Amino acid sequence: MSTTDVIKSTENKNVHYVKQYIKNVLQQEPGDTVTVKGWVKTKRASKGIQFIQLSDGSCFTDLQIVIDASKFEENLLKEISTGCSLLVEGTLVESPAAGQKVELSATDIEIVGSAPVEDYPLQKKGATFEFLREIAHLRCRTNTFGAVNRIRSKASWAIHQFFNERGFHYVNTPIITASDCEGAGEMFYVSNSLAVENGEYKLKNKNPQEDFFAKPAYLTVSGQLEGETLACGLTNVYTFGPTFRAENSNSARHLAEFWMIEPEMAFCNLEGDMALATEFIQYVIKYALDNCSDDIEFFNKRIEPGILETLEHVVNSDFEHVSYTDAIKYLENSGEKFEYPIHWGADLQSEHERWLTEKKIGKPVIVYNYPKEIKAFYMRLNDDNKTVAAMDVLVPKIGEIIGGSQREERHNVLVQRIKEQNLEEEAYWWYLDLRKFGTVPHAGFGLGLERLIMYITGMKNIRDVIPYYRCPRNADF
Ligand code: 4AD
Ligand code: MG
């Protein structure tokens, strides 16, 4: 059978997008006739009966297809193998297997696309996550990555719902920008002056003024600065978009491209910011618990035993608030041997964050009021002149999941902070304007979506919670 023949034979049944998902079929009654479409996860045969596990990604459980081999062409049954796509019609019958009410007794089977056994890379169960990263284009067909993608989708939906219910406007801030929000210089340039000739980069012109944007431009590291301008007019806003950081990090919690959610609230201070961050995380986790229970059960069994209990606990308990100064005291008196020495003024490293939230507190912690030297220029200076109104939410196993602050709304103080950090005042003219015209106390934070998904699923590497990961030396697919 050629590929064209196969496509022709299913043409009439494939005219519209799928509306009958396996998720719904599994809830139907014995006796119902249904048509399902999906990919074969496994196939086994026993005494003239063949069993196929079919998945369309709509839910964790596969639909079991039961085939009476005597009723089908031998060649057709032979061609069905792991990975091939099928259209199956049949009648639902009561399933003797545990965990599912019904299975499908096939009356008609069409192979939509075959998957030659000798070539299909996902033959065996138990492939390592490292191996699956090399076939990222196929890994969503596995149990783990199906579940990760479903939770990511549901969490994203919950995020929009959370803000929508609270009157926040969803705003889109630019992906190409001329300002470095975090001042960390970890930006990818955006230029049309660069070309590849004979395998080498060639600069078409050296003068930024002659480049596409007539100045150096970058992929944004955060939508915050523009978000602030929108909050100072729309009151409560949030962004939800991709952000980019050229940090040369191969850690299990950093990506070069990740998705960030950044609410920004006018007439709000640090306390309000921390309260919203807590409510937000609890809401999204509760939504996942209520709407992705099968997937979370899988993570609880196979990936991170105890994750279910942890999540239920997080939803129902307050987050601990600890000032940076107190956090340093705890760390200094911990008796632990840290790789990075700790003292007042030092930035908290992942090992410190994890000790605080895992060992000292045992639940999410919000650390606030950090030294101004280690935080971005836009954070509001506290009266002690030494710390800024910053806050980071830390969670066990991951460390920082949210970073936020009250913003400096006083024009003169902000100018001073820009100078102190050796930033170009002129570049921030529009940002400073906000402090000239109707300035208000305001605050916001950024949540890394991938870190949240790691937290909910217990997945240990951030590269496994986004369909295609970007990190040093990886922009394949
Ligand atoms: O702490 P960050 O750098 O804060 C900001 O960008 C602020 N402008 C946010 C704001 O106040 N509107 O980043 C915020 C969060 C981190 O807590 C982390 O969850 C995530 O973004 N994040 C990363 N996630 C994956 N890979 C990276 N390289 C990340 N860098 C930050
Ligand atoms: Mg941060």
- Whether residue 1 is predicted with pLDDT greater than 70 in this model: the reply is no
Going by alpha carbons, the residue nearest to atom 20 of ligand 1 is 448
Q: Which atom of ligand 1 approaches the CA of 225 most closely? A: 8
DSSP code string of 362-373: SS-EEEEEEEGG
At 6 the pLDDT is 45
DSSP code string of 209-267: GGSTTSS-EEE-S-SHHHHHHHHHHHSEEEEEEEEE-------TT--SEEEEEEEEEET
Going by alpha carbons, the residue nearest to atom 30 of ligand 1 is 254
Does the beta carbon of 402 lie inside 6 Å of ligand 1? yes
Rounded percentage of the chain residues whose pLDDT exceeds 90: 89
CA Rg value for the chain: 27
213-255 tens-digit pLDDT: 999 999 999 999 999 999 999 999 999 999 999 988 889 999 9
Nearest ligand to the CA atom of 401: 1
DSSP code string of 75-126: HHHHH--TT-EEEEEEEEEE--STT-SEEEEEEEEEEEE---TTT-S--STT
Does the beta carbon of 106 lie inside 6 Å of ligand 1? no
Does the beta carbon of 399 lie inside 6 Å of ligand 1? no
At 15 the pLDDT is 62
At 13 the pLDDT is 60
User: Cα(364) to centroid of ligand 1, in Å?
Assistant: 17
Nearest ligand to the CA atom of 186: 1
- Whether residue 402 is predicted with pLDDT greater than 60 in this model: the reply is yes
193-214 tens-digit pLDDT: 999 999 999 999 899 999 999 9
155-184 tens-digit pLDDT: 999 999 999 999 999 999 999 999 877 777
Q: Which residue has the higher pLDDT, 278 or 6?
A: 278
Average pLDDT over all residues of the chain: 94
DSSP code string of 16-80: S---S-HHHHTTS-TT-EEEEEEEEEEEEEETTEEEEEEE-SSSSSPEEEEEEGGGS-HHHHHH-
Going by alpha carbons, the residue nearest to atom 23 of ligand 1 is 448
- Whether residue 5 is predicted with pLDDT greater than 60 in this model: the reply is no
Going by alpha carbons, the residue nearest to atom 21 of ligand 1 is 448
70-126 tens-digit pLDDT: 999 999 999 999 999 999 999 999 998 877 899 999 999 999 999 999 999 998 777
Nearest ligand to the CA atom of 447: 1
CA dist., res. 214 & res. 64, Å (int)? 60
**Domains recognised in the chain with CATH numbers:** 10-113 (2.40.50.140), 139-186+221-464 (3.30.930.10)
Q: Which atom of ligand 1 approaches the CA of 400 most closely? A: 17
User: Cα(190) to centroid of ligand 2, in Å?
Assistant: 24
| Ion ligand 2 contact residues with beta carbon within 5 A | 403
Q: Which atom of ligand 1 approaches the CA of 444 most closely? A: 11
Does the beta carbon of 388 lie inside 6 Å of ligand 1? no
Does the beta carbon of 404 lie inside 6 Å of ligand 1? yes
Going by alpha carbons, the residue nearest to atom 28 of ligand 1 is 254
Give, for ligand 1, the residue of 222, 239, 280, 378 to mutate: max count of ligand atoms closer than 8 Å to Cβ.
222
User: Cα(215) to centroid of ligand 2, in Å?
Assistant: 27
- Whether residue 8 is predicted with pLDDT greater than 60 in this model: the reply is no
Q: Which atom of ligand 1 approaches the CA of 254 most closely? A: 26
- Whether residue 23 is predicted with pLDDT greater than 80 in this model: the reply is yes
Q: Which atom of ligand 1 approaches the CA of 393 most closely? A: 17
CA dist., res. 226 & res. 237, Å (int)? 11
294-303 tens-digit pLDDT: 999 999 999 9
Q: Using CB atoms within 10 Å of the CB of residue 188, give its burial: 0 to 12 exposed, 13 to 18 middle, 19+ buried.
A: middle
